Amino acid sequence: MSLGQHREAREIFEKLLADQSTPAPVRDQAWFYLGKVLYAAGLYDASERALRSVTGSLPVALDSERRLLLAQGLMYRERFDAAVAELDGWAARGTGPPMGSSTSAWRWCAPAAPSVACSCWTGSGSW
């Protein structure tokens, strides 16, 4: 997504969120997508605020992505303990990170460097 598209997407989601008549489930998805756009733009603090503003429930796939974006954003800011806590909390809720109920691989990767930690996961269910 080009910078102009990020800006346009951000404006759309911010308009939805500014409208108090927007239904709660739509607001939650708007917060998620705003957080995703901010993350893609490298605005990790703002992304975290948006992603944590989801107050209801998202579909499982979106909530899983939200949690991964939160953890990765924390790692990019070198907040490794907070990233591990985020993933551990996710595992404790029963939906777990995609690598299963253990975040031991994240514990191993995260201290190395954010770029390493964020690229360790292959997306195929293995490290």
Average pLDDT over the chain, rounded to an integer: 80
Q: Where are the domains of the chain?
A: 1-57, 59-127
Which CATH fold would you assign to the domain 1-57?
1.25.40
Q: For 126, which DSSP code? A: -
Per-residue pLDDT averaged across 35-59, rounded?
Answer: 95
Tokens at residue 81, please?
A: 């303990």
How far is Cα of residue 31 from the mean position of the Cα atoms in its chain? 11
With pLDDT > 70 as the criterion, what percentage of the chain qualifies? 69
Residue 13 in this model has a pLDDT that exceeds 70: yes
Residue 91 in this model has a pLDDT that exceeds 80: no
| pLDDT at site 105 | 45
Tokens at residue 86, please?
A: 């985020």
